[in-house]
C-alpha cells in the first residue's frame, strides 16, 4: 500500500506501543499558552519527545440533531488516505481508500504511566475520563481533577490528575496495560483480577421499546467516521424518546464505550436519562464498564457471551442484544424494557 495525500489529511508514521515514551513527570506540561509547553525547570537540551505539543483541531460529532465541536489531535488524523489496487473480474484498477488510524494513547496518573492503549485519535479526553471510571480507578468522575492531552512523535499522552491516595492505591496494583485495540483485559496478571466483582447498578430506569428501535434506526446515519472508513465501532447515548444525545467512535469497541462514558458522566454533562447502544457484541468487559458508569440498559448489535449475561444479572443491568431493525432479544431484566401503551 502507498500513502497518498488528501487535502487536510496527512499520513503518519506508526510506532509500536512498546516504544511509547512519556515526558518527564517533573515538567509542568499544563502551564503556558504557547505551543511548546515546558515547565519552569525544563531543560532545552532534553530530546524533543519530552515536549508535549497539544496542537488541536476542531472536528464534529452529532449531539441529538445538532453538530457540536469536539477537540481532536491535529498531528494524528482519525482517517488516512491509502492507495490500493482493486481486483475485479473486469480487471485491476488503482483507487484511494479512507483507512481508520490506530494510535498509541498513553494514560498516566499523577505522572506515572499506567496504560498504553491503541485507539482512534478522537475524543481523547473523554476516553481518559471514561477509562478512569470504567476501570474502577475512581468511583466518581469528580475525582478526576485535570486531564491534559498532548502529542509526541510516538503517539498521544493523557496526563490525568487524581487524588494522591487513589494514585497510591493504583501504583500498588500489578497491572501495566499495553493494550491492543480490542483488548479489554490486557495487563491482567491473575485470575482474580480478570474476573473481578461487578459493580451493582443503582439506576433502575426503564426504557420504551419504541425508543430502543428509534435509537437503533438513527445510529448508522450518525456514525460519521465509520461511514468513511467502514472499520469503527460506535457507542451512543440514547434519550428516553429515542434521540441520539451523544455518540463516540473508535476502532475498538471498549474504547468507543469508554469515550461515551467519559462524555456522559463527566462533571457538567447534560446527557440526561437514557440508555447505551454499542455496535458490537456484549462481552464481559462491556458489562463491567457499563455497570461502573451506572448505565442500567445496554443494547448491543451482536450477541452476548454467557459470562457477560451472568455478570449483567448480578449487577442488575438490562442487556438487549442481537438488536437489528425491529428484532431484538432481551436477556436480562426484561422488566426494564416496556411496551408502548
Query: What's the grid cell of residue 269?
Result: 454533562
Reply yes or no on whether 186 is catalytic. no
**Residue 226: inside a domain:** yes
* Helix, strand, coil % over all residues of the chain, rounded to 5: 25, 35, 40
Sheet holding 318-324, edge to edge: 244-250, 233-239, 274-278, 297-300, 318-324, 327-332
Please state whether beta strands 297-300 and 327-332 pair in parallel, antiparallel, or not at all (unpaired). Answer: unpaired
Q: Is the pLDDT of residue 39 over 70?
A: no
Asked if residues 101 and 76 have their Cβ atoms less than 8 Å apart, the reply is yes
Q: By CB neighbour count within 10 A (0-12 exposed, 13-18 middle, 19+ buried), where does 185 fall? A: middle
Close Cβ partners of 202 (under 8 Å, ≥ 6 residues apart) = 294
Count of structural domains, the chain: 2
Provide the percentage of residues in the chain whose pLDDT is more than 90.
65
**DSSP per-residue string spanning 135-200:** TTS-SSGGG--EEEEEE-SS-EEEEEE--HHHHHHHHTSS--EEE-TT-SSTT--SHHHHTPPPPP
- The CB-side HSE value for 249 (13 A sphere, CA atoms) comes to 25
Residue 76: its pLDDT value, please? 87
Q: Which helix (H) or strand (E) holds 131?
A: helix 124-134
Residue 204: its pLDDT value, please? 81
Domain match, 96 and 211 both = no
**Residue 77: inside a domain:** yes
Look up the pTM and report it.
0.77
Q: Is the pLDDT of residue 206 over 70?
A: yes
Which of the residues 50, 183, 282, 338 is marked catalytic? 183
Write the CA distances from 58 to 52, 74, 129, integer angstroms: 19, 9, 20
The domain in which residue 92 lies consists of 72-100
Rg of the chain in Å (alpha carbons): 21
Domain match, 332 and 216 both = yes
**Residue 38: inside a domain:** no
Task: Look at 66-70, 124-128, 310-314, 320-324 and tell me which has the smallest mean pLDDT.
Answer: 66-70
Q: How confident is the model at residue 171 (pLDDT cuts 50, 70, 90)?
A: confident
**Residue 170: inside a domain:** no
Domain match, 213 and 334 both = yes
Three-class SS of residue 230? coil
**Residue 297: inside a domain:** yes
Close Cβ partners of 103 (under 8 Å, ≥ 6 residues apart) = 14, 76, 118, 119, 120, 121, 155, 156
Asked if residues 234 and 223 have their Cβ atoms less than 8 Å apart, the reply is yes
Please state whether beta strands 327-332 and 318-324 pair in parallel, antiparallel, or not at all (unpaired). Answer: antiparallel
Quick one: average pLDDT of 115-125? 95
DSSP conformational letter for 46? S
Three-class SS of residue 89? coil
Domain boundary among 100, 120, 152: 100
**Residue 36: inside a domain:** no
**Residue 21: inside a domain:** no
Q: Closest Cα to residue 125, out of 103, 104, 149? A: 149
Domain of residue 299, CATH code: 3.40.140.10
What are the tens digits of pLDDT across the range 225-278?
999 999 999 999 999 999 999 999 999 999 999 999 999 999 999 999 999 999
Residue 170: its pLDDT value, please? 87
**Residue 233: inside a domain:** yes
Amino acid at each position: 500500500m502507498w500513502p497518498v495525500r488528501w487535502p487536510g489529511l496527512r499520513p503518519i508514521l506508526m510506532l509500536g506501543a512498546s516504544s511509547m515514551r512519556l515526558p518527564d513527570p517533573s515538567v509542568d506540561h499544563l502551564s503556558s499558552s504557547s505551543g511548546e509547553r515546558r515547565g519552569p525547570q525544563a531543560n532545552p537540551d532534553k530530546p524533543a519527545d519530552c515536549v508535549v505539543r497539544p496542537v488541536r483541531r476542531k472536528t464534529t460529532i452529532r449531539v441529538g440533531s445538532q453538530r457540536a465541536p469536539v477537540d481532536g489531535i491535529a498531528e494524528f488524523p482519525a482517517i488516512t488516505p491509502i492507495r490500493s489496487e482493486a481486483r475485479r473480474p473486469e480487471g485491476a484498477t488503482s483507487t484511494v481508500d479512507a483507512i481508520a488510524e490506530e494510535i498509541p494513547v498513553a494514560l498516566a496518573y499523577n505522572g506515572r504511566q499506567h496504560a498504553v492503549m491503541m485507539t482512534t485519535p478522537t475524543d481523547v479526553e473523554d476516553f481518559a475520563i471514561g477509562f478512569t471510571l470504567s476501570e474502577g480507578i475512581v468511583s466518581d468522575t469528580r475525582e478526576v481533577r485535570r486531564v491534559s492531552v498532548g502529542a509526541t512523535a510516538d503517539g498521544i499522552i493523557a496526563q490525568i490528575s487524581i487524588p494522591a491516595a487513589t494514585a497510591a492505591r493504583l501504583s500498588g496494583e500489578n497491572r501495566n496495560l499495553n493494550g491492543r485495540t480490542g483488548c479489554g483485559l490486557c495487563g491482567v496478571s491473575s485470575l482474580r483480577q480478570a474476573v473481578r466483582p461487578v459493580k451493582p447498578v443503582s439506576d433502575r430506569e426503564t426504557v420504551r421499546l419504541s425508543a430502543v428501535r428509534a435509537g437503533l434506526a438513527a445510529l448508522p446515519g450518525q456514525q460519521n467516521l465509520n461511514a468513511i472508513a467502514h472499520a469503527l465501532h460506535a457507542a451512543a447515548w440514547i434519550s428516553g424518546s429515542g434521540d441520539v444525545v451523544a455518540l463516540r467512535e473508535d476502532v475498538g469497541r471498549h474504547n468507543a464505550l469508554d469515550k461515551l462514558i467519559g462524555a456522559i458522566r463527566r462533571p457538567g454533562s447534560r446527557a440526561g436519562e437514557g440508555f447505551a447502544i454499542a455496535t458490537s457484541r456484549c462481552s464481559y468487559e462491556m458489562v463491567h464498564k457499563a455497570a461502573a458508569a451506572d448505565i442500567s440498559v445496554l443494547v448491543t448489535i451482536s450477541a452476548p457471551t454467557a459470562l457477560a449475561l451472568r455478570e449483567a444479572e448480578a449487577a442488575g443491568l438490562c442487556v438487549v442484544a442481537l438488536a437489528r431493525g425491529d428484532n431484538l432479544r432481551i436477556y436480562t431484566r426484561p422488566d426494564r424494557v416496556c411496551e408502548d401503551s
